[in-house]
């Protein structure tokens, strides 16, 4: 898909990296040139092959942003700046991760890049919608219906990007047509208008996309995700009854189900000594299997093919165990794998995590206190807490690493628990499938697919909607469907509230959901970050009430000279 993206970038006018699009206008004849024997914005999407290229380019752009640190990447905003995590390697403020909201300025890279990629994909989608809409239906399989499949997928992505932008920045321009010329008079439309446009787009997508299992290729969008995000949008609009109806379409009308039995390539290959259906969900090659009834939208990462890509950012989750140094008896603590006659210091079961995504105590301890021994999501094979010395020359070989055994004490105890050893969710690991850099057990690069959405999240979303309608019994029932799969004790109706649902989302969806979007939607961002973000150098992430939204990038305000484009409150200084 990278190759296809490069082709499209070279031949299509797909938009700028910011709202202000500047095109050369010095030669009117050149601008009026009619393409006859080359691809251009005027003819590239007029056939089904061209439309497929356009959709593929959008998928590829979303994939690259999904795993980024500076755009809207879930491998960052799923935890950082929330109640769930911070950078354990360098927990201080002033880095590329959101450790401190004091870094949240209108020129901060993450503020700018997240804004830019959102409007870039929206422009790409608008070009595709416009051109395919004007194409001759006879050039598409199934005529108008075939055209609408591509338009629906583009509208899904347009709404999906507005989901991220609206939650992050608040009032933003609603753009439903391609930007063709330089424009400096954008206005900030109210959030209600943004969400109403998202409702229209997700509805169109739900009505025109293929049903699950009927998509043209793995990873393509189907009706299920459209209904799910429509339900979420209704919650943003404070219309929980409609949210229940939309989520119920996913739950009742398709064949999605939670996986409750072992499946896929991990059967008989339990690297950590045990496994279960939840563990199997994240096994290499398992995401797209026909028997996987829980996968709703899977980001595709195919090794060994051109354009297949890789995930270089899943490594942020997990400790830098390989930096431990010496065992208590002065011998090297971790020998690791033998490669070219030399021990690497890395384990092929753990790979090379970097501690950039360390969970809070909520993630590793508080969530499990009432179900420590029975909730399978807290079992050692899913949430690995024990690490062992690996050096036959040491008296501590194969013994559990315990920093209290060091006499005298180690010199940097804070780093030992923030960076060197802390629990790791094995959903992020890919044991024995690290195909690159064998001298570093993969170098932090993985090649397995990743869930953008799975069925458990829809159940928890409907629980949230039921709670908002006052039907706590039905909310508890949906939560308990998720808990039952992991052998967790059922929640009673009197215990169910929005905080319980947020806790359950953390147990089930840690590292998968956009946590910041969830916390904003539920109005819990400030409260829970202050309560649970226990970064010792940036307690509560130094969050302030105005940090509920991010600032608008300063460059976009300065360039919008023909209309007022006010900054979000609290970021004017």
Give per-residue pLDDT as tens, 260-287.
999 999 888 888 989 999 999 999 999 9
Residue 19's pLDDT is: 56
pLDDT of residue 483: 98
**Sequential DSSP letters for 289-336:** -TT--SEEEEE---TTSTT---BSSGGGBS--GGG--B-TTSSBSB--
Question: pTM for this structure?
Answer: 0.93
Q: Hey, what are 501's tokens?
A: 């649902």
348 contacts 321 by C-beta, under 8 angstroms: no
Quickly tell me which residue has 């021990």 as its tokens.
343
As a whole number of angstroms, the distance between CA 308 and CA 63 comes to: 11
Question: Which residue ranges make up each domain of the chain?
Answer: 313-448
C-alpha span between 433 and 349 (Å, rounded):
9
- One DSSP character per residue, 244-281 reads HHHHHHHHHHS------S--GGGTT--TTS---HHHHH
Start-to-end CA distance of the chain, whole Å, equals 42
Q: What percent of the chain has pLDDT over 70?
A: 92
Q: Which two tokens stand for residue 261?
A: 């039995």
Contact between 550 and 104 (Cβ < 8 Å): yes
Task: Show the low-confidence residues of the chain (pLDDT under 50).
Answer: 1-17, 20-32, 36
């Amino acid at each position: 898909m990278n190759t296809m993206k490069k082709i499209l970038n070279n031949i299509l006018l797909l938009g700028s990296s910011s709202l202000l699009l500047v095109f050369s206008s010095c030669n009117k004849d050149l601008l009026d040139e009619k393409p006859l024997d080359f691809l251009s914005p005027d003819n590239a999407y007029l056939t089904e092959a061209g439309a497929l290229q356009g959709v593929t380019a959008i998928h590829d752009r979303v994939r690259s942003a999904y795993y980024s640190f500076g755009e809207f990447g879930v491998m960052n905003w799923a935890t950082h700046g929330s109640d769930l995590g911070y950078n354990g390697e360098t927990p201080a403020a002033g880095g590329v991760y959101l450790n401190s909201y004091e870094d949240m300025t209108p020129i901060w890279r993450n503020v700018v890049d997240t804004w830019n990629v959102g409007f870039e994909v929206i422009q790409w989608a608008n070009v595709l919608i416009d051109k395919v809409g004007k194409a001759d239906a006879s050039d598409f399989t199934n005529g108008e219906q075939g055209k609408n499949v591509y338009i629906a997928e583009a509208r899904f992505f347009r709404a999906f990007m507005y989901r991220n932008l609206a939650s992050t920045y608040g009032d933003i321009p609603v753009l439903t047509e391609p930007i063709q010329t330089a424009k400096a008079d954008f206005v900030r439309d109210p959030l209600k208008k943004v969400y109403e446009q998202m409702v229209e787009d997700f509805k169109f997508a739900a009505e025109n996309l293929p049903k699950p299992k009927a998509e043209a290729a793995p990873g393509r969008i189907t009706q299920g995700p459209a209904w799910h995000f429509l339900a979420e949008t209704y919650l943003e609009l404070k219309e929980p009854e409609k949210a229940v109806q939309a989520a119920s379409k996913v739950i009742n009308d398709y064949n999605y189900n939670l996986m409750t039995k072992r499946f896929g390539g991990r059967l008989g290959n339990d690297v950590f000594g045990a496994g279960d259906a939840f563990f199997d969900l994240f096994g290499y090659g398992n995401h797209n299997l026909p028997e996987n009834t829980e996968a709703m939208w899977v980001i595709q990462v195919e090794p060994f093919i051109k354009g297949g890509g890789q995930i270089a950012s899943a490594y942020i989750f997990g400790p830098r165990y390989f930096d431990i140094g010496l065992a208590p008896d002065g011998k090297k603590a971790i020998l690791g794998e033998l490669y070219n006659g030399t021990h690497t210091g890395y384990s092929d079961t753990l790979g090379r995590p970097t501690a950039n995504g360390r969970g809070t105590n909520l993630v590793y301890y508080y969530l499990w206190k009432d179900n420590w021994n029975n909730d399978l999501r807290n079992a050692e094979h899913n949430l690995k807490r024990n690490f062992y010395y690996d050096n036959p020359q040491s008296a501590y070989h194969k013994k559990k690493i315990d920093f209290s055994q060091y006499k005298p004490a180690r010199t940097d105890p804070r780093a030992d628990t923030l960076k060197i050893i802390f629990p790791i969710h094995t959903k992020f690991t890919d044991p024995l499938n690290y195909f690159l850099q064998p001298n570093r057990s993969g170098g932090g690069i993985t090649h397995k697919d990743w869930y953008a959405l799975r069925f458990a999240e829809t159940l928890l979303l409907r629980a949230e909607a039921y709670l908002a309608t006052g039907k706590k019994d039905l909310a508890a029932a949906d939560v308990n469907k998720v808990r039952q799969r992991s052998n967790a004790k059922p929640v009673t109706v009197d215990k169910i509230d929005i905080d319980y649902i947020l806790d359950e989302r953390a147990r089930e969806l840690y590292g998968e959901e956009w946590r910041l979007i969830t916390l904003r939607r539920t109005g819990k961002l400030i409260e829970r970050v202050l309560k649970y973000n226990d970064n010792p150098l940036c307690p509560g992430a130094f969050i302030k009430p105005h940090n509920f939204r991010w600032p608008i990038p300063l460059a976009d305000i300065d360039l919008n000279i023909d209309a007022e484009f006010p900054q979000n409150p609290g970021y004017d200084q």
